[in-house]
Amino acid sequence: MSHADHADYCWRELPEYGARIEHPRLRQPISLIIDDPMPGYNPAYFHSGFRFGPARIPVSLVDEFADMIERTGIRGKFSIVPYPIGLGRVDRAIEGVSDVERRYFLDEIRDRIAPHMDITPEALTHWNALDLKTGQLLPYWEHVWSRSQTTETLIPYITLGLEILNNVDIPCRGVTSPWDFGDGVEDAYATAILEAQRAVYGRTFAWYFLQMDGSSPSVPPRLSVFDPAKGEAVVSVVTCDSNDFGAAVWGGGRPNPDALISADGQSGRLVETLRNGGSSAFHSHWQTMFSQGTYSGMNALELVAQRLETYFGPRIAWTGCDDLARYTATAAAVQLSAGSDSTGLRLSTPFACPRFTLSQAESHPVRDVHVDGKPLTRAASRAMFDQDSYLVENGRIYACWTLEGEQTLSVETA
Ligand SMILES: [Zn+2]
């Protein structure tokens, strides 16, 4: 674990001001991505060509999952497939799923999961592509269809997914790619995501999940669209695992939590990337949580969360994907200049960012730290260090607050 104490990966060094952008409240962000949830049906059954059943997932899984994330504190992203398997829209009716069940699924996600995980659509069907003009399914998968698309044809497709979830009062700041939807046309796809967010919400910031990287030492999010002057960014949240640790359960096998973190906390892909000091995002699936009705995948995920708590505890923080994406774009965009008084630093950002954390060398004992004249509370220890506080430790001053627009950070010395 020695590497994390001397992290070789930082968000950004600003040497001309003796400053460094740190991880939010000095904790490495960790995010869980759950793909494929849909009311009523088991995606594994369809995606395996009907080999691995059962066809249905009982709606009680959503309660069990909400209980589990409340117990563990897990944060990240949770999909809703807006037009599952082409059988109907989640805001209207789905063939073979009762309205009571469909509404219960959406209500539970809105009330119990959305407070912890960012919700995203996953294109439309996670099945054959939908012809938006005729409302009929096309004779190829959505990801195959995506390869021959342009920004112009992708915009309405992504927009409809956002609109369907918005119609059931589930706003989404990002999107998930079914299979590898958008791969090969990623620039057009990222631009279309931005334009869809603009069309539905008037926003100029978005993120998405498409890429996985199971081998690099660190796997930070990537900036796919980045135009701070226009206040525009689209961030690709990349997972550090290239396979779902529990995928074997779809066909009746056993999950492999050790692939993420072993029982002794010494090996696994999350251990590797966290030891290298960066953020870590990893992914699993709704059908893994279900595990053909045994919940073995969900139990294994809870074990992963417990092991992370045991071996990394206060060094990490479960983080929503939107916050992770926003932090990445802000760290890249923020501009520093000397403030009007000699102790101040002027910061300017096009993106608002909660828990923005900046450190500077401490030259004299610190008496007070202010943001635009408003005092931050001194934190007695790292454990107390959070939003609107500052910490003095080992010759550095750390400040954590919501960075937005133009602000001045001033440090008064004794
Ligand atoms: Zn998927």
Q: Which amino acid is at 399?
A: A
Is 242 found in the same domain as 103?
yes
Distance 286 CA to ligand 1 centre (A): 9
Tell me: pLDDT of 263 over 80: yes
279 Cα: distance to centroid of ligand 1 (angstroms): 22
DSSP secondary structure of 30-54: EEEEEE---SSB-HHHHHTTS-S--
Cβ neighbors of 251 (< 8 A, separation 6 or more) are 44, 48, 51, 52
**Phi-psi category of 135—alpha, beta or left, where left has phi over 0 and alpha has psi -120 to 50?**
left
Is 383 domain-assigned? yes
Any domain includes 361: yes
Same domain flag for 246 and 376: no
Is 15 inside a domain boundary?
Answer: no
Q: 65 C-alpha vs ligand 1 centroid, how far in Å?
A: 18
pLDDT confidence tier of residue 5, bands split at 50, 70 and 90:
very low
Task: Output the pLDDT for position 254.
Answer: 98
Report CA(202)–ligand 1 centroid distance (Å).
26
Give the tens place of pLDDT for each residue, 132-153: 999 999 999 999 999 999 999 9
Last residue of a domain, one of 293, 326, 359: 326
Give, as one character, the DSSP assignment of residue 136: P
* Domain assignment present for 22: no
Q: State the pLDDT at residue 343.
A: 66
Rounded to an integer, the average pLDDT of 246-255 is 97
Confidence of residue 350 (pLDDT cuts 50, 70, 90): very high
Q: How far apart are alpha carbons 31 and 42 in whole angstroms?
A: 24
How many structural domains are present in the chain? 2
Find the 189 Cα to ligand 1 centroid distance in Å: 16
- For 255, the token pair is 């999950």
Distance 212 CA to ligand 1 centre (A): 13
* Cα angle, residue 42 at apex, residues 36 and 45 outer, rounded to 5°: 110
Q: What is the pLDDT of residue 309?
A: 98
b (16+ CB within 10 A) / e for 122-141: bbbbbbbbbeeeeeebeeeb
Same domain, 184 and 252: yes
Question: Residue 362: pLDDT above 90?
Answer: no
My answer on whether 289 and 344 are in the same domain is no
Domain that holds residue 389: 334-413
Domain shared by 368 and 246, yes or no: no
Output the CA 34–ligand 1 centroid distance in Å. Answer: 9
**Sign of torsion, CA 185 187 189 195?**
negative
Residue/partner pairs of 187-191 with CB below 8 Å, 24 or more apart: 187/224, 188/149, 188/150, 188/151, 188/154, 189/146, 189/154, 190/224, 190/225, 190/234, 190/236, 191/151, 191/225, 191/234
pLDDT value of residue 220: 94
Split at pLDDT 50, 70, 90, the class of 8 is very low
Please choose, from the candidates 310, 349, 336, the residue with its C-alpha nearest in 3D space to the C-alpha of residue 409: 336
Q: Ion ligand 1 — residues with CB under 5 Å?
A: 35-36, 178
Predicted pLDDT at 344: 86
pLDDT at 3 over 50: no
Is pLDDT of 2 > 90? no
Distance 374 CA to ligand 1 centre (A): 45
Token pair listed for 306:
């417990």
State which of 294, 326, 358 marks the end of a domain: 326
Distance 267 CA to ligand 1 centre (A): 27
CA of 299 to the centre of ligand 1 (A): 21
* Cα 98 to middle of ligand 1, angstroms: 23
Please state, rounded to an integer, the average pLDDT across all residues of the chain. 95
**Structure tokens of 91?**
């805001």
Digit-coded pLDDT (tens) for 35-48: 999 999 999 999 99
- Ligand 1: distance of its center to the CA of 178 in Å? 4
| pLDDT on residue 15 | 82
From the list 196, 201, 263, 194, the residue with the least C-alpha distance to 230 is 194
- Is 317 domain-assigned? yes
Asked whether the predicted pLDDT for residue 6 surpasses 60, the reply is no
Task: Find the CATH number of the domain harbouring 204.
Answer: 3.20.20.370
Whether residue 132 contacts residue 156, with contact meaning beta carbons closer than 8 Å, is answered with: yes
pLDDT-based confidence at residue 414 (cuts at 50, 70, 90): confident
Task: Choose the final residue of a domain: 306, 326, 346.
Answer: 326
Rg of the chain, C-alpha, whole Å: 22
> By CB neighbour count within 10 A (0-12 exposed, 13-18 middle, 19+ buried), where does 31 fall?
buried
Question: Measured in angstroms, how far is the CA atom of residue 123 from the centroid of ligand 1?
Answer: 9
CA of 36 to the centre of ligand 1 (A): 5
CA–centroid distance, 84 to ligand 1, in Å, is: 11
DSSP 327-385: HHHHHHH-EEEE-SSTTEEEEEEEEEEEEEEEEEE--S-EEEEEETTEEPEEPSSGGG-
Residue 239, pLDDT above cutoff 80: yes
For residue 362, the CA-to-ligand 1 centroid distance in Å is 48
Cβ atoms of 316 and 274 within 8 Å: the answer is yes
> In the prediction, which pLDDT does 341 show?
66
Which pLDDT tens digit goes with each residue over 302-334?
A: 999 999 999 999 999 999 999 999 999 999 999
Tens-digit pLDDT profile for residues 150-192: 999 999 999 999 999 999 999 999 999 999 999 999 999 999 9
Biggest CA-to-CA distance, the chain: 72
